[in-house]
Chains A and B, each alone.
Chain A
């Protein structure tokens, strides 16, 4: 019996820069390859990652809803693990596809829809890092001063 799943992909921005539609097709194509059906797929967001993943500081999220059998999930996971352009993925079972997702997928597939290209990687340069270190240094000094006052 096939079930509905919510799949969130974290795609490499380098792949997205080469073409959003191609990157999306590659990600959703894997579901079809493992015997599934893609119900909706859309760009969720492009953002700075909370921590670097495979030396990437930014990434694009693709949110898809699919129908897939239990055997398909296992093989899909195995293939996603080996796919370089998918930095992370998360597969959850879903009750149904939210109506909003279908609308947004439709909006994205329209001809006039332009997916904004990802901004360049914002690797902090040396000066910025030093400024940050100084800031942290100042923060550490404050509690020391407070302690001294309390003791006095």
Chain B
């Protein structure tokens, strides 16, 4: 079976996402509004590709999301 998209010369275009702008001090579990932007509709964390954060900041974000979930500020699953 021929790949029509390939024959047309279409290239795969990676989707672009709005980058998350956050200072290290912003990546706190109390900053719920920011954390909500970094999780999907079902409450899953966005990857680094999606958030555009550095590895260090993504780790701070991960910890902040997990802490917020524990305190009932964010949902685990929606």
Which residues of A pack against B, CB within 8 Å? 8, 10, 44, 47, 49-51, 53, 59, 61, 63, 87-88, 90, 92
Could you tell me if B75 and A61 are in contact, using CB atoms closer than 8 angstroms? no
* Residue B59 interfacial (CB < 8 Å): no
Assign chain B's interface to a size class. Answer: 10 to 19
B76 touches A61 (CB 8 A): no
- Report chain B residues within 8 Å CB of A44: 30
Inside 8 A of A51's CB, which chain B residues have their CB?
Answer: 72, 75-76
Min Cβ gap B61→A in Å is 16
State which of B30, B71, B75, B76 has its C-beta within 8 Å of the C-beta of A88: B71
> Which of B67, B70, B71, B76 has the most CB atoms of chain A within a 10 A radius of its CB?
B71
Bound complex: CA of A68 vs CA of B34, how far in Å?
A: 31
* Dominant secondary structure at the A interface: strand
Q: Cα distance A8–B29 when bound, in Å?
A: 10
B71 — which chain A residues lie within 8 A by C-beta? 8, 10, 61, 88, 90
Identify which of A50, A63, A92 contacts B72 (C-beta below 8 A): A50
C-alpha gap A49/B69 in the complex (Å): 10
